């Protein structure tokens, strides 16, 4: 079993590294078999995504096996059409805090999507936690739960935008020292909840001296987020809050990739999203943080940058070690939900009813 000391060491070290350093296409689930006589209540899309382009246009892609026609609607009008598989570029839409698209099939339920990234001046990794298909053909709603990196650099314009998007509660996964060094800025009226994943009993530590040591530190830290007492208490706070009211909820840490990454991995797994999609969402932080990470590494001597890089990355082996810890410590993810996250069957049903459509 991982102990509090190990998670504190790993993530206190990472937090220090991030504070020093800083003074994506996400795969969709594989198509599932479908019946040509699908119920009108079902969502026929097996894959779909909206991506905002640099020139202000939007790329909309989808797969809806067996559907002859799909209408793409935005702002109350049809802006494109296609068949069972489509890729369209939509131009000329007015500026908006967030542009939503409705994918309307000839039969079955429509699917409402937006670009996953929320573009703010003060963050690099603020994004929607939803927009993914589950193994049973439902979809995680977008516009309900969000994940982010540190919020201390939000501008007044950012705060106004988040207020309009309806951010109602922010779960801060950071340590006391991180919160003191970079306190959150939040829209007026947003409830603030501390959910300290690493705790505050960090021992004295030293930086790793090799990339291999840094990578191992990240692996141990990921495993400890599953089984340490502070992590269990923190994630239980987040999930119990989501059960009570998920609408407009946000959870975040410093880089929005490790503690936040496990929160999203656990949430998506609980909702029934396939493991390969969960991993793709986790790895997307590498894309969203690419510019910031590159700038941080470029400011370091090459030898130091080589050691820091594993601390700034997210890697499949990191997340996989977390799931391995679930298996070793709890025996199954279902047991982890109950024993670590504190979710009973009724609460799980409530969470899925709130966050899934289809």
What lies within 8 Å, CB to CB, of 59 at 6+ separation is 50, 51, 53, 87, 88, 89, 90
Judge if 144 and 72 occupy the same domain. no
Judge if 332 and 264 occupy the same domain. yes
Judge if 108 and 19 occupy the same domain. no
pLDDT band, very low/low/confident/very high, at 207 (cuts 50, 70, 90): confident
**Structure tokens that stand for 333 in this block:** 């993810």
CA distance 258 to 125: 12
Q: What is the 3-state secondary structure (H, E, C) of 239-307?
A: HHHHHHCCCCEEEECCCCCCHHHHHHHHHHHHHCCCHHHHHHHHHHHHHHCHHHHHHHHHCCCHHHHHH
**Structure tokens that stand for 71 in this block:** 């209408």
**Is 251 in contact with 27 (CB distance < 8 Å)?**
no
Given 114, 146, 178, the domain boundary residue is 114
**Does the residue 146 lie in any domain?**
yes
User: For residue 204, what pLDDT is reported?
Assistant: 53
Would you say residue 133 has pLDDT above 60? yes
User: For residue 31, what pLDDT is reported?
Assistant: 38
**Does the residue 32 lie in any domain?**
no
DSSP of 190-225, one letter per residue?
Answer: -EEEE--SS-S-PPP----SSHHHHHHHHHHHHHHH
What lies within 8 Å, CB to CB, of 61 at 6+ separation is 47, 48, 49, 51, 86, 87, 88
Q: What CATH code is carried by the domain that includes residue 132?
A: 3.90.190.10
Quick one: average pLDDT of 32-46? 61
User: For residue 319, what pLDDT is reported?
Assistant: 98
Given 114, 148, 164, the domain boundary residue is 114
pLDDT in tens, 14-36: 555 555 554 433 333 333 333 33
Judge if 151 and 103 occupy the same domain. no
Check if 216 is active-site.
no
Range of the domain at 308: 4-26+116-357
**Does the residue 303 lie in any domain?**
yes
CA distance 51 to 113: 10
User: For residue 225, what pLDDT is reported?
Assistant: 97
**Does the residue 19 lie in any domain?**
yes
Judge if 110 and 162 occupy the same domain. no
Lowest mean pLDDT segment, chosen from 24-33, 166-175, 329-338: 24-33
pLDDT band, very low/low/confident/very high, at 241 (cuts 50, 70, 90): very high
Q: How many domains does the chain have?
A: 2
The dihedrals phi and psi of 310, each to the nearest 5 degrees, come to: -60, -25
Lowest mean pLDDT segment, chosen from 45-59, 157-171, 195-209: 195-209
Judge if 65 and 127 occupy the same domain. no
Of 142, 167, 197, 253, the catalytic one is 253
Global pTM reads: 0.90
Judge if 20 and 50 occupy the same domain. no
Judge if 138 and 243 occupy the same domain. yes
**Does the residue 103 lie in any domain?**
yes
What lies within 8 Å, CB to CB, of 136 at 6+ separation is 272
Judge if 48 and 150 occupy the same domain. no
Given 94, 114, 134, the domain boundary residue is 114
**Structure tokens that stand for 99 in this block:** 């542009």
**Does the residue 80 lie in any domain?**
yes
**Is 196 in contact with 175 (CB distance < 8 Å)?**
yes
**Does the residue 258 lie in any domain?**
yes
Judge if 193 and 173 occupy the same domain. yes
Judge if 17 and 161 occupy the same domain. yes
Judge if 228 and 101 occupy the same domain. no
Q: What CATH code is carried by the domain that includes residue 58?
A: 2.60.40
Tell me the percentage of the chain whose pLDDT exceeds 70: 87
**Does the residue 31 lie in any domain?**
no
């Amino acid at each position: 079993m991982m102990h509090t000391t190990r998670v504190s060491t790993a993530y206190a070290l990472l937090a220090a590294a991030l504070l020093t350093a800083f003074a994506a296409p996400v795969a969709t689930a594989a198509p599932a078999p479908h019946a040509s006589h699908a119920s009108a209540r079902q969502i026929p899309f097996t894959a779909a995504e909206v991506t905002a382009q640099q020139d202000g246009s939007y790329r909309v892609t989808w797969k809806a096996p067996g559907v002859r026609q799909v209408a793409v609607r935005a702002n109350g009008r049809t802006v494109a059409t296609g068949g069972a598989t489509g890729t369209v570029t939509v131009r000329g839409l007015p500026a908006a805090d967030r542009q939503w698209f409705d994918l309307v099939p000839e039969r079955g339920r429509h699917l409402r999507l937006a670009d996953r990234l929320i573009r703010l001046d003060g963050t690099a990794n603020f994004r929607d936690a939803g927009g993914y298909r589950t193994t049973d053909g439902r979809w995680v709603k977008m516009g309900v739960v969000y994940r982010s990196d540190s919020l201390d650099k939000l501008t007044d314009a950012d705060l106004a935008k988040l207020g309009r998007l309806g951010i109602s509660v922010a779960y801060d996964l950071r340590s006391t020292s991180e919160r003191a060094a970079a306190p959150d800025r939040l829209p007026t009226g947003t409830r603030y909840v501390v959910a300290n994943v690493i705790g505050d009993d960090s021992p004295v530590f030293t930086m790793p001296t090799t990339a291999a040591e840094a990578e191992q530190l990240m692996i141990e830290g990921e495993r400890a987020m599953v089984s340490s007492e502070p992590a269990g208490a923190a994630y239980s706070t987040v999930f119990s809050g989501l059960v009570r009211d998920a609408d407009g909820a946000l959870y975040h840490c410093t880089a929005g990739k490790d503690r936040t990454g496990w929160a999203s991995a656990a949430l998506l797994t609980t909702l029934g999203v396939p493991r390969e999609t969960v991993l793709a969402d986790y790895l997307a932080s590498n894309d969203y943080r690419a510019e910031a990470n590159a700038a941080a590494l470029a400011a370091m001597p090459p030898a130091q940058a080589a050691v820091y890089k594993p601390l700034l990355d997210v890697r499949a082996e990191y997340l996989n070690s977390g799931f391995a810890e679930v298996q070793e410590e709890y025996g199954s993810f279902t047991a982890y939900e109950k024993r670590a996250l504190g979710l009973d069957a009724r609460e799980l049903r409530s969470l899925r009813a709130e966050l899934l459509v289809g």
